Amino acid sequence: MKNMKNILRHISSFIAPITLCFVIPYFILLHEHFLSSELIDKTIILFIILGLIFNLIGLILLVLTIRMFILIGNGTIMSWHPTKKLVVVSFYAYVRNPMLLSIIIILLGESITFVSHGIAMFAILSFILSEVYLIFAEEPGLEKRFGKEYIEYKRNVPRWIPRFKPWKPNE
């Protein structure tokens, strides 16, 4: 029973990203009337390939960062089961928010693939709301939970634009 509860907790980590990356864009596309046979006629193959590359990169990054939260952080991205340990390795050694960055990359890929102004606007709105949330809610909460460890991490690792070299604590 406990194992099933853990599995459900881990699966819940994918609810928000799936909603942001796939459900909302689907409804935007429905509204824009892009889900028709005109899609291929209106979209250059190059845009489709470029968009799919963005989507693949974003999806791989998303899955790997959620996996790190589960395995290294011993928790999930959801507020009802937060990580117990600050994750500062792998992608998190380059940029503080690779999970949110992966969502933005996926949304941009979808906007390119489907030539969707609506999804592009949703990506921009998601970025702005994420920035506000990070500054006023998440980062102060992480400072309370992890103290000096997070403050040092925050001082050394940028929020959005990755470092060239990974940051290593106590170096």
Entry pTM: 0.83
Distance (Å) of CA 156 to CA 97, 136, 139, 151, 159: 13, 19, 14, 9, 10
pLDDT value of position 100: 95
> For 78, what's the count of Cα atoms within 13 Å in the CB-facing half-sphere?
13
Structural element, H or E, at residue 129: helix 117-133
Distance spanning both ends of the chain, measured CA to CA = 43
Is domain 2-156 classified as CATH 3.30.1360.180?
Answer: no
- The per-residue pLDDT for range 97-111, each reduced to its tens digit, is 999 999 999 999 999
Structure tokens at 117: 């102004």
Stretches where the chain sits below pLDDT 70 are 1-2, 4-10, 33-43, 171
pLDDT of residue 1: 59
What's the confidence (pLDDT) of residue 138?
93
Quick one: tokens of 87? Answer: 């994750």
Residue 142, pLDDT score? 94
For residue 75, is it left (φ>0), alpha (ψ between -120 and 50) or beta?
A: beta
Tell me how long the chain is: 171
Between the alpha carbon of residue 166 and those of residues 59, 94, 142, the distances in Å are: 21, 5, 21
- What does the block give as tokens for 137? 């809610």
